[in-house]
Amino acid sequence: MASTLEQAERGIAHPPAADLPVVKGIPVRAGPGIIGARVSHLQPPPVAVPATLLDMDEQTVLNYQMSVWCFAFLDMTSTVLNIVAVYSAGLQWNPWQLLFLLLLVGPICGLIGSGRLNRSLVAVFVISCLVKAVIQVGYALYTFYFWTVLFAFLQCWITKIAATFWWVLGNLTKERRRQVLEVKNYDIQRVYW
C-alpha cells in the first residue's frame, strides 16, 4: 500500500480506472453550521443594543420579584387548602379559622406587592408569613409528624425569601423602583434560596 501511495504522489501510472470507484464532489456552501468554518462575510454585523446597567440592589429586586410572586401564590394555595381541610373535617367556626382567613390577605398582598414593587404590600406578606411560620413551627413541635415539620420548614423558607425581598426593596427609592419596573431587556434569575 505504501508503494501505491508513493507511486500516486510521483504521478506514476496506477491501476486501471475501472477498479477504482468514481468519487463525485458535491458543492457545499460554507456557513455558520459547518464546524470549523469561519466565514465572517456571511455573518450579519453585530447589532448595537443599549446596555442596561443595574446596581446590585436593582438586580436582586428583579431576581427576587418573580420568586416572591410564585411563593405568594403557593402560600395562598396552601392557606386555602388549610381552610378547606378544617371545614371538610366538620369543625365548627372558631377564632383560629378566622385567623387563617386573615392570613389569606398576606399572600394576596404579596402577589400585588411583588408585581408593583410596593414595599408596604410586601411587608403585609412578610408579617403574614411570620405569623404563619410561628403557627406551623409550633404545630410541628407539638405533633412532630414528618409532614408538619416539612411544612414548617417550607413556611420558614418562604418567609426568608419574602423578608429578603422586602429588605432589598427598602434600599431602593420609589423612583428607582419605577425605573426597575420599566427594565425589559434584563435576564432575571429566579432565586429559591
pLDDT tens track for 123-140? 999 999 999 999 889 989
Residue 69: all three cell numbers together: 410572586
Contact by Cβ (8 Å): 168, 153: no
Q: How would residue 105 be classed by pLDDT, with cut points 50, 70 and 90?
A: very high
How does pLDDT run across 14-29, given as a tens digit for each residue?
A: 555 556 667 776 766 6
**CB-based contacts of 113, cutoff 8 Å, min separation 6:** 119, 120, 121, 122, 123, 124, 125
Residue 55 has pLDDT above 90, yes or no: no
Q: Please state at what angle helix 174-181 crosses helix 56-88, rounded to 10 degrees.
A: 80
Per-residue pLDDT at 34: 53
Residue 93: all three cell numbers together: 367556626
Does the pTM of the predicted model rise above 0.75?
A: no
